[in-house]
Amino acid sequence: MKKSATLALLLGLTLLGTAIEARAQVPCGATFAPGCFKGTFQGQETHDVLPPGATSVEIHTTATGVGTSVGLFSLDREITGNLLNFTQTGSAQWVAANGDSIYTTLAGHAELSDLPGGFLRVTEIHTVTGGTGRFTTARGSFTVELFHKLQASEIAGGVATHDIFGSFHGTLTSPNAGR
């Protein structure tokens, strides 16, 4: 119960920060101008338990959230993280409730966060590479800010699971979005 309350509080703070930040952005102001793409998500990341001296990690993310242009969505993300310089590259699929998808490639970096409870703050730039359904001709880029709990919520079968939450903002244009 305490874990759920902490995650709810952190998600609430993220939503508040996103709302304040969104008001300051020209394309994603209160009017939700065409091309605005922003939202929030929460979920989990998994990776194999790392041996001593490991220099890289393969991470799989599953999350759900809500955003402009996509509504309710699920996120499936695969990254390779460099443990020496805290950078990462990878790809993601953002799936709207009706199954329409946005595909992205990403590059980013991580640093220790000042949030209580021990989190990494991950900042990534996602570049839209395509999509399906109403996002077939989608283009754009956006910034993802993700918070990764350092302490695993579960370790089973050699796999560590970590809770995450985050937000994104940027631009997405899709001439097919009205279909």
| Per-residue pLDDT reduced to its tens digit, 50-84 | 999 999 999 999 999 999 989 999 999 999 999 99
Higher pLDDT, 26 or 83: 83
Q: How far is CA 162 from CA 5, 7, 88, 170, in A?
A: 16, 12, 17, 26
Q: In total, how many domains does the chain have?
A: 1
Query: Residue 136 and residue 150: Cα distance in Å, rounded?
Result: 36
Which helix (H) or strand (E) segment holds residue 23: the answer is helix 2-24
Among 137, 147, 151, smallest CA distance to 168 is for 147
Write out pLDDT tens, residues 129-155: 999 999 999 999 999 999 999 999 999
> Does residue 87 carry a pLDDT above 70?
yes
Query: Where do we find the tokens 């989190």?
Result: 119
Domain span at residue 165 reads 2-178
Amino acid 20 reads I
Beta bridge pairs of residue 139: 173
- Which H or E run includes 38? strand 36-48
